[in-house]
Each structure stands twice: as C-alpha cells, then as structure tokens.
Amino acid sequence: MTKEFLFSVIIYFIYVCLKSTDSMHMLQQNKYNRKKTYLKWLSKNPAKCFKDYSILFILLIIFIFFENIPLLILCFNFLYLALTVNLILERKKAQNKLPLKYTSRVKRLTFTNILIHVLPIVIMSLFVNETNLVYCYLILGLIAYLNCLYILIALLINTPVESFVGYYFKRKAIDKIKSMKSLKVIGITGSYGKTSSKNILNDILNIKYNALPTPKNFNTPFGLMITINNYLDKFTDVFIAEMGACQGGDIKELCDLVHPKYGIITKIGVAHLATFGSRENIQKTKFELIESLPEDGIGILNGDDEWQRSYKIKNNCKIKWIGIDSEDVDVRAKNITLSPSGTKFDCFFKGDDKSYPFETKLLGCANVYNILAGIALGREFGMTIEQLQAGVSKVKAVEHRLELKRNGDITIIDDAYNSNPTGAKMALDVLKLMPGKHIVVTPGMIELGDAEYEKNKEFGKQIADSSDEVILVGAEKTKPILEGLKEKGYDESKIHVINDVLKAFPLIQTLKENETYVLLENDLPDIFNEK
C-alpha cells in the first residue's frame, strides 16, 4: 500500500508545487503580508482563492462507504493529473504583468514550503494502510485546497530568519551611510509623483554631481537597504531615497535608516487612504520626512498644496516653497506652455526680478512641480542657472508616467503606473492637447478608501469631456466610471468593457483613425484581475 500511496503523491506533489508558486506570487505582490495585506486580499477575493476544482477531493468521502481501494487510488490519481494539466494550460494563457521574482527570500520560503508539504507525506507513508488510505487522501486534498492559507505557515516559520536577515542588512546599510561623511542624502515622499520627482532630480543634479537614486520603486526599508549595500560607493556625491508609506511611522522608519539632510514632499493626496484611515494621517506621515531633518537641513514643499501649507511643522530646518499659482513662494513657474512636444515655462526666484526660461520634453503641470523642486534644491547645492537649464532640458521621460510611445499611426500616452485623481485629470488634459482621435484605456483607480467610488465616478465624467472612445478594463471595478460617463450623456456605443487589458490592443486597431492617441491610465497588478 505504501508504494501505491507514494505513486499517487508524486502526481499530487507536482500540482501542489504549481499552486504554491501562484500563492507565493500573490504573497509577494502583497509585500509578504506586511501590514496583513495578503490576508486582506484573501478576504476580499475569496473566489480567486477558494473557487478551485481541487474541492472535488471531497468526493473521495464517498469511498469511506466502499471498500474499493483500487478505484479510490485511480480516482485520486486521475483527479490531480487533470488538475495539473488544467493548471499548466491556464498558465500558458495567462500573461502576468508582474511575474514572481525569485529573490533570496522567495527561495528560502520555497524551501520551507516544500519541507512542510513533504513532512506530512513522510509521516503518512509510514502508517498508511487500506483502512486509513481515504483519510490520508483527504488530508492531502485539504492541504492542496487551502494552499493560499497553508503558505502562511511557511511564512511564519521563516519569520525569525527573515528578521535576522533584515537586521543584518539594516546594520550594514546604516554603517555604510555613516562612513560616508560628505554624502548628501535626500528623501522624497508624497502621495504620488515620488518616482518622477526622484528621476527628474537625479537628471538635474547629475549635471554637476554624481547622484544615485533608488532604482524603480525601491521605496521600502528593504529597497533602500539593497540600494545602499549594493550600489552606493565612494564616488557617489548624492543619494536620492524615494520613500513610500502605507501607514503612520513608515516614513520615520526610512528616515531612521538613511538620515536625510534634505527632503521633498511632492503632493499630499488620497493614495492609500484605505490603509491610512484619513487624509490627516497621510499628511502627518508625509511630514515625518521634514520633521526628521536636522536643524541645518532643507525641506522643499509645494506652496500650491493646501495640505502642505496648513501643516504646522515641528522642526526649525530651512523650508523652501515652490509653486505655480501661489505668489508667496521661493521658486515659481509662470507662462507655462504645453504642447505635444513638451513643456516650456519661465522660472522666478524670490528676491530676483529676472525670469529664466526652462524647457523640458516632459508633459503636464505635475512634472513642472517636480522640476521646480529639482531646481530649488539644485540652487541650494550651488548649481548655476545654466547648469539647471541644461539639466532640465536633458530630463528623460519616466517609464509608464505620461511616456509617449509611437506605434505606427497610433501614439500611446503611457500613464499606467499607479493612477491617482490628480494625475489622472492631468493625463486627460494632456490627451486633449493632442490632435486626432482620443481613446482612453483604464481599469480605474484603487486604494482610495471610502472615496474610491466617488473619485472614479468623477474620473468617468472627466473622460467624457476628453475622449472619443473609452475601454474599461474589469466590469466590476469600473462601474463608477461607467456611471460617471452615463451621467454626462456619453455615447454608450463608444464604451467598451473588457476583462483583460491585453484584449484592449486588438480592439484599438478596430477603433483607430489616421491619427490616434491612446491614453493608458493605470494598470492594476495581477491581484486585481477580474478574469
């Protein structure tokens, strides 16, 4: 009986390994259950986790009432063989936007996960017989069915190891930063615009300095540690640290790691409102950066942002204000001209009657604010106007943030990274500047808490004023956008609802005209798929 059982387990184990990879993929996208995000995702998406054909293992209970052991083994083997084949076929069809990254942590988690799956199999193989075979199969079936929860056991087991690894790399990063006495450390945070601001600042400062920004969206403690330990070297003059947050204390934790002397807050909005709880909490958390600066530090704040203007800063460091609409700022942009080829504006400095022209290939007023922040800090670093102008002119478009891409007679305005109400409105304004037919492709905005429905509904109304056709990705998620479109009297024949963004591109080919501009606004990660 042991041989037959072990043969069945081979097929079963292949299936479990494939399922575990999917569960780990979702766990990774949910930051390894940091702040219980993975558990929250499970509670909100039970169909994705538990609507599984492996539930058919329960049918094996029937065999408790029969003594046909060969039939029991045959059914078990056939069930998991069919499930394995089905899973492999589904994987071939699926195209994940963000694939599983096989980091050292994932490898450790995989090892532990295999171990805790093998252990019950070994124990059962020692005691399995005709009497208890069905119960052994039921236990295995239950483990496979609850795979998305079972992987949390491996996560829990690895917690001490991960804590030790985290402490080791944290101490290493802190000691390295402390050893570089002349290094200028800049922190950048905000509800949105952090990555754009970071890359713009990097392009500007690199005219004079050797600057190192955190790569991509490495804005967590581990992201900063990796950057410091692997990329920071003796030739680096300036370290630019992007700082992300989901709840109070997150920015303070990052500041305690890198100890910035300079700080930039981009914009305080409603991103991650669901985890922060209120906009006041967002405001307080973002200002943890400014309040962590030393007294001889410098903070760059947006004078057009009421949530920055109204905050009572608990720090005596120097503050430099930037703005477009506000007159009482230190660095101001006026005479802004937007065109399909980029943006031009005149820059004014407090105490200087002259104006200085700047030109950039970037699109949108939000990028003007980010450039102003770079100009303000560059001036504090002793850069000349000519150096700043040269830096701004060389600023490169940031991937997936109002990035123009030409595809035959179609121009893609790629704004697919992490949409928010302000950025989405600005993207639509950019779309309206373009000649030809306008098409919007969007799954809507997320993580806006109680405001999510109304913000997406308002977004739908804005789309109605900006687009000739709209492609909504995900029928359930885009209901408020659809409602906003209908309230504005938008032609329903111009509204197309699909469940997979990959289907949008063949559809665009049927909708395009001689000159067509397509705005891709947001691209939700795989955990939000409605397929």
Reported as a single tens digit per residue, the pLDDT across 369-413 is 999 999 999 999 999 999 999 999 999 887 777 888 888 789 999
Residue labelled with tokens 């305080």: 268
Contact 309, 460 (CB under 8 A): no
Report the Cα–Cα distance between both ends of the chain, in Å, rounded.
Answer: 41
Distance from C-alpha of 417 to C-alpha of 464, rounded to nearest angstrom = 22
CA dist., res. 312 & res. 301, Å (int): 13
User: How confident is the model over 150-163, as a mean pLDDT?
Assistant: 95
348: Cα within 13 Å, side-chain hemisphere: 16
Span 411-456, pLDDT tens digits: 999 888 767 888 888 889 889 888 889 999 999 988 787 888 999 9
User: How do residues 138-147 score in pLDDT, each as one tens digit?
Assistant: 899 889 989 9
Find residue 263's DSSP bridge partners. 187, 299
- Say whether 250 sits in a helix, a strand or coil: helix
State pLDDT tens for residues 216-243.
Answer: 878 999 999 999 999 999 999 999 999 9
SS3 214: coil
Cβ atoms 336, 344 nearer than 8 A = yes
Closest-CA residue to 78 (of 105, 97, 59, 62): 59
Average predicted confidence (pLDDT) for the chain:
89
What pLDDT, on the 0 to 100 scale, is given for residue 523? 73
What are the start-end ranges of the H helices in 65-146?
A: 69-93, 104-127, 133-145
Q: What digits encode the pLDDT tens for the residues 97-116?
A: 568 889 899 999 999 999 99
Residue 326, class by beta-carbon neighbours within 10 Å (0-12 exposed, 13-18 middle, 19+ buried)? middle
Residue 529 DSSP code: -
pTM, whole model, 2 decimals? 0.78
Which tops the pLDDT comparison, 180 or 57? Answer: 180
Instruction: Specify the residue for token string 């890198």.
Output: 258
Mean per-residue pLDDT for 287-315?
Answer: 96
Whether the Cβ atoms of residue 526 and residue 97 lie closer than 8 Å to each other: yes
Two structure tokens written together for 146: 């609850």
What is the structure's pLDDT at 527?
44
Asked if the model's pLDDT at residue 1 lies above 80, the reply is no
DSSP at 113 = H
Separation of alpha carbons 285 and 266, rounded Å = 13
- Would you say 443 and 472 are in contact if contact means Cβ atoms under 8 Å apart? yes
Most confident of 6-10, 177-181, 472-476: 177-181
Tens digits of per-residue pLDDT, 26-71?
898 888 887 788 888 888 778 777 767 677 767 666 665 666 788 8
Q: What integer is the mean pLDDT of 295-306? A: 96
Mean pLDDT, residues 462-468 taken together: 94
- H helix intervals, 180-238: 194-205, 221-231
pLDDT score at 199? 94
Tokens representing 423 are 């950025």
| Most confident segment among 54-63, 167-176, 188-197 | 167-176
State the DSSP H helix or E strand holding residue 153, giving kind and residue range, or none if neither.
Answer: helix 147-179
Distance CA 414, CA 323 (A): 26
Burial of 116 (0-12, 13-18, 19+ CB in 10 A): middle
> Is residue 528 over pLDDT 60?
no
- Banded model confidence at residue 529, pLDDT cuts 50, 70, 90: low
CB count, 10 Å around CB of 68? 10
Please give the pLDDT value at position 524.
60
Is residue 191 a contact partner of residue 281, using CB atoms and an 8 Å limit? Answer: no
Specify the pairing of strand 238-242 against strand 298-302: unpaired
Q: Set out the domains of the chain in order of their start, with CATH numbers.
A: 2-161 (no CATH), 180-393 (3.40.1190.10), 403-528 (3.90.190.20)
The closest alpha carbon to 394, from 202, 262, 131, 157, belongs to 202
The whole-number pLDDT of residue 89 equals 86
Cβ distance 224 to 172 under 8 Å? Answer: no
